[in-house]
Each structure stands twice: as C-alpha cells, then as structure tokens.
Amino acid sequence: MLDIKFVRANPDLVKENIKKKFQDEKLILVDEVLALDKEYREAHVRGDYLRNQRNVISKTIGMMMAHGERDKAEEAKAQVGAMAKEMAELEVRETELEGEIRKRMLVIPNIIDPSVPVGRDDSENVEIERFGEPAVPDFEIPYHVDIMERLSGIDLDSARKTSGNGFYYLTGDIARLHSAVLSYARDFMIDRGYTYVVPPFMIRSAVVDGVMSFAEMENMMYKIEGEDLYLIGTSEHSMIGRFMNTFHDEDKLPLRLTSYSPCFRKEVGAHGIEERGVYRIHQFEKQEMIVVCRPEESKAMYDELWKNTVDFFRSLDIPVRTLECCSGDLADLKVKSCDVEAWSPRQKKYFEVGSCSNLGDAQARRLGIRIKNKEKGNYFAHTLNNTVVAPPRMLIAFLENNLNADGTIRIPEVLRPYMGFKDHIG
C-alpha cells in the first residue's frame, strides 16, 4: 500500500505506474482517492476547529452564570450542543472516508523499480543469467510420474479417492528424497546465517490483508469455515505477520529468517491442476527465506536471496536460470521480482522452481512494521521473500537431471547424509 502523502504529491507518477502494469481500469482509483482524501482532510480540519471553539465557549458558560447572564449561558450551551452533534457526525464521516480510501489504496499497485522491464504478462519476462550447462542425455527421459511409479514412489489414484485431484501420496525412497531435500535446504540456509523457524500454518484475515492482494487471496487461500482463519499458501504469510505492529532497532537489522511449512493453494484459474503429475497441486511443502531490513539494505538483500536459491540448486547439479519478471507479471505489492527456473532435460526447457520478491514497504505499511529512529522519526521497514526449495515440484527437476540410463537416480554428494549415505536409488 502506498503512502497517501506520496499519492497526493505524485498522482501522475502513480497513474503512469498503473499504465506500466496494464491495469488502466485502476486509473480512476487515483482520482477517487484524492477526492476522498480532500474531503477527509476538510472534515478533520472542521472537527479540530469545532473542538477548539467548543472549549472556548464552554469556558465562558460558567462566567455567564456567575454574572447572572442565564439567557446567554443557555444560548452558549445550545451552541456547544450543536457543535457536539456536528463533531459526532464528522467523526462518523471521517471513519467512513478512511475506510473508502483504504479500500482503494489496497488495490492501487506498488511503484515498481525503474529496472523492471515493461511487459504485459510472463511471456515478456526477460532472462538474466544461466548457471550450469543444460544437457540432454542420449537416452529417453520418462515423464516424472512414470519415473516415480517405476520406483514405487507415488500413488495418485488413492489420493484422488481420499482427497481429489491435486493431491498425492509419496512413498518409499521418493518420500525419503522429498524429506531429504527439505532437511538439506534447512541446513543449507542455517549455514548461511539464517534463523530457522517453523511458523503457524493458519493466519487471521488481518494478516492476509497485510501480506497479499485481494486477487491473490481469492485465487489462493483456503478459508476455515466458521472461523477467522486461513490456511497459508506459503510460510511468508505467517512469517511476515509475526512482525505486525512491531518496532525494530536499526542496528539489529536485517532479520534473516528461513522457514519450513506445508502450503495450501486453491490454484483458481490455474492450468494443469487436472494433469497427471505434481507440478501444480493443492498441497506441498516448502523451505522459504524471509528478510526484514532497512530500505537502504533492500537491493543488496534481494540479490542475496535469489543467489541463495541458485547456489542451492547448483549444489544438487541442477542447471538453473534467473528470469526478470516484467511489470505486468508483478503482483501489486511487489517492487521487483525474479523467478529461478530449473532445466528440464525431458522438455528441453526451463520451468519455475522459485520466486524472489522485494515488496518495498508495502507489507510493512499494511501491517505496521516500523524501524525506530529518534532523530528522523520511525519509518517503515522493507520486506523480501524467496523460495529456497519447494518439493515435489523441485523433485521433477531433480529426477530428470539425476536420472541414469538404467533407471536409477544418482544422489549428489551433499544430499547423501540425508539419504542414509546412498549414492543412488532404484
């Protein structure tokens, strides 16, 4: 959410930013916000004036009574009563206006970084850099579910009976591989100085409003019927919510955190949920990175986050590339974002396995996450997040890139301590 003072001072810039995101239907919101803000400030000024006048007049009533000026005193009392009534009406109107302004401000997109390429959708994202040499072996690579089934590692049919499409049972060595990847990711991030956290897997609506846009919520979140609780779509949600209405010392930032959680997503409108596979599913597990920092640290932390993911995948011998998200592909809260994509030898192309985002002060402003500064005054923090790894999607890349000609799966050296020191499975 933008600062209303910024919108007041830079309406044309805000509108130009909306155009860059190809959301022209939101242009009218800027004018509506400015009009509502003008009315709100006028009401506030009028209320302050009335309060001041009421106090002045109230002080004279006693003097009038003492001097026997009863009629004047009654007139003054009536005047004070009328002022009180008008002030009460103004307070109600101010509350209404605040609500209307906030409703619109939550929909106006954050100002994107100047480095973000302008484009309509993910088809116009821009490749930044490749890491590792993508290779295609001289033998056929089966579909990932076929690889898992040959290793007795997945049961989709039973999951459809118990839970429906978009769910799965992982079994045997594939289930162990799934857990091993997450354990390795946890230790990988701890070794890089990140504090490990297991957060709540449900959050209240006040946190949902703070961490994501309404459109994202509708397409992602599962609501717990009869309670003010939502299942998290990623641990970022509860991790950022943890700092709601908090103040932080400048010298204790940045906060570097890595969190594990299951994730639950409706995936409304997403293609592929009916596919026989585990690329797009309703339930999965993930290791995440979260940073709370000062604004001047934001850019450096963003680079640190995506590089962590690249290094993690390369340690497992998986080629990856980074992709700069264009303006139209950015969620409204994001200032800048890049995807990390893994190489698929079967498809001979890259596919998304992680997303790194800098949200500026948007989440902090919504949730009240502030940094203490006695000289300059308190100010809002910046928040960032990035995926370390999210199996089972990551397993697709792992199985394809580590498949041997005989159908066995090579286990990279760094993962062997988590797999009983096996060098292969199958």
From first CA to last CA, the distance across the chain in angstroms is 51
Determine contact, residues 263/233, Cβ cutoff 8 Å.
yes
Does residue 176 lie within any of the structural domains?
yes
Say what the pLDDT of residue 91 is.
Answer: 92
- Tokens describing residue 289: 């990175």
Name the nearest CA neighbour of 360 among 384, 342, 329. Answer: 384
The CATH number linked to 297 is: 3.30.930.10
- Domain residues for the domain of 101 are 4-105
Pair (384, 346) in one structural domain = yes
Say what the pLDDT of residue 57 is.
Answer: 83
Give Cβ neighbours of residue 266 (< 8 Å, ≥ 6 apart).
Answer: 219, 220, 221, 222, 282
Pair (139, 95) in one structural domain = no
Q: Which of 105, 136, 157 marks a domain boundary? A: 105
Residue with tokens 């949730």: 367
Pair (128, 74) in one structural domain = no
Does residue 61 lie within any of the structural domains?
yes
Does residue 58 lie within any of the structural domains?
yes
308 sits in the region (left: phi over 0; alpha: psi -120 to 50; else beta) called alpha
Pair (74, 181) in one structural domain = no
Determine contact, residues 354/309, Cβ cutoff 8 Å.
yes
Does residue 395 lie within any of the structural domains?
yes
Pair (68, 192) in one structural domain = no
Task: Please say whether the dihedral angle defined by the alpha carbons of residues 61, 65, 68 and 71, taken in this order, is positive or negative.
Answer: positive
Does residue 116 lie within any of the structural domains?
no
Pair (161, 57) in one structural domain = no
CA 193 to chain centre: 22
Q: Which of 105, 138, 153 marks a domain boundary? A: 105
Say what the pLDDT of residue 243 is.
Answer: 97
- DSSP per-residue letters across 316-377: TT--EEEEEPPGGGS-TT-SEEEEEEEEETTTTEEEEEEEEEE-TTHHHHHHTEEEE-TTT-
Q: Which of 52, 79, 105 marks a domain boundary? A: 105
Does residue 62 lie within any of the structural domains?
yes
The CATH number linked to 59 is: 1.10.287.40
Does residue 311 lie within any of the structural domains?
yes
Say what the pLDDT of residue 272 is.
Answer: 56
Say what the pLDDT of residue 96 is.
Answer: 95
Task: Please say whether the dihedral angle defined by the alpha carbons of residues 103, 106, 111 and 117, taken in this order, is positive or negative.
Answer: negative
- Coil/strand/helix, residue 50: helix
Pair (38, 69) in one structural domain = yes
Pair (47, 145) in one structural domain = no
Residue with tokens 């001979």: 348
Rounded CA gap, 408 and 147, in Å?
Answer: 9
Residue with tokens 């995926």: 387
| pLDDT tens track, the chain, 426 positions | 899 999 999 999 999 999 999 999 999 999 999 999 999 999 999 999 998 888 888 878 877 777 788 788 888 888 888 888 999 999 999 999 999 999 999 999 999 999 999 999 999 999 999 999 999 999 999 999 999 999 999 999 999 999 998 899 999 999 999 999 999 999 999 999 999 999 999 999 999 989 987 677 777 899 999 999 999 999 999 999 999 999 999 999 999 999 999 999 987 655 555 567 888 889 999 999 999 999 999 999 999 999 999 999 999 999 999 999 999 999 999 999 999 999 999 999 999 999 999 999 999 999 999 999 988 899 999 999 999 999 888 999 999 999 999 999 999 999 999 999 999 998
Identify any residues that bridge with 372 across adjacent strands, giving them in sequence order. 249
Pair (21, 138) in one structural domain = no
Pair (396, 309) in one structural domain = yes
**Count: domains in the chain:** 2
Pair (88, 142) in one structural domain = no
Does residue 316 lie within any of the structural domains?
yes
Pair (227, 328) in one structural domain = yes
